[in-house]
């Protein structure tokens, strides 16, 4: 019996159709994916010691289901990034409003691309304003670095005015958002960029190396001093 014969497909196996569509559009580029992951991991890192770990949900590119008839097959949107505050911090495959005490996101960020910009600035903005009532909405284009933010005032999104540094304040996060080295980053109230876990690890490694070098320099200095004292007939151990 040939190898090919051993791996023949049984006739009674039924394969799913190849044209099944996901509820979520794919992220446009690798830059979009990296940006989404950056926003998620940085807020998780920043809030790890701020008594927020158990009362928020941050995610990206998953569906928010909001059908009044509580049907997942209708009325859903998939923001590139969103945060819901005052909720249980646990994994979810999607955000189902009627299963989450009617909660909608407190903040949404869409990552613009040529194929999505019109919808993100039009239809989605309208939905987030009129149906979600999401307090803050931002968009950012990872390629051309277009960045804007809006806050819900009297039921209508109003532009968030940038500070002199060009940063936009988020009342929901108590942090600024702004562009740093071609990425959308978080900044603290003083306008300092919030480091990523990798940046902190690198800084700690560099600091440790500097401390080792300083300790070695001190050791060598002490040895030179001891040698000089011995030349002068002084026992350094008696000093």
| Token pair belonging to 83 | 């945060």
Query: Tens digits of per-residue pLDDT, 69-117?
Result: 999 989 999 999 999 999 998 999 999 999 999 999 999 999 999 999 9
The CB-based long-range contact list for 44-53 (8 Å cut-off, 24+ gap) reads: 45/196, 45/197, 45/200, 46/175, 46/186, 46/194, 53/89
> Whole-angstrom Cα distance, residue 79 to residue 71?
19
Residues in CB range of 76: below 8 A, 6 or more apart = 23, 63, 64, 65, 66, 67, 94
Look up the pTM and report it.
0.76
Q: Which residues pair with 151 in a beta bridge?
A: 136, 158
* In contact, 60 and 45? CB cutoff 8 Å: no
Q: What is the pLDDT of residue 4?
A: 42
Intervals of the chain under pLDDT 70: 1-27, 49-54, 201-213, 215-216, 222-223, 229
Counted residue by residue, the chain has a size of: 239
């Amino acid at each position: 019996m040939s190898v090919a014969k051993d791996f023949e497909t049984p006739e009674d196996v039924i394969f799913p159709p190849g044209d099944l569509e996901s509820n979520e559009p794919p992220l446009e580029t690798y830059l979009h994916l990296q940006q989404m992951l950056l926003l998620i991991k940085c807020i998780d890192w920043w809030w790890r010691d701020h008594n927020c770990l158990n009362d928020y949900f941050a995610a990206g590119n998953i569906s928010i289901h909001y059908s009044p008839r509580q049907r997942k097959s209708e009325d859903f949107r998939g923001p590139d990034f969103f945060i819901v505050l005052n909720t249980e911090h646990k994994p979810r495959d999607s955000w189902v409003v009627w299963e989450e005490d009617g909660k909608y996101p407190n903040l949404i960020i869409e990552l613009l691309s040529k194929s999505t910009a019109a919808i993100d600035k039009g239809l989605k903005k309208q939905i987030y304003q009129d149906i979600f009532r999401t307090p803050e909405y931002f968009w950012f284009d990872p390629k051309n670095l277009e960045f804007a933010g809006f806050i819900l005032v009297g039921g209508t999104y109003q532009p968030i005015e940038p500070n002199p540094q060009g940063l936009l304040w988020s009342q929901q996060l108590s942090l600024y958002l702004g562009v740093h080295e071609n990425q959308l980053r978080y900044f603290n109230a003083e306008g300092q960029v919030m480091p990523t876990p990798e940046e902190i690890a690198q800084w700690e490694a560099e600091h440790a190396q500097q401390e080792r070098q300083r300790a070695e320099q001190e050791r060598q200095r002490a040895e030179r001093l001891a040698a000089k004292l011995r030349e002068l007939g002084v026992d350094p151990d008696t000093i």
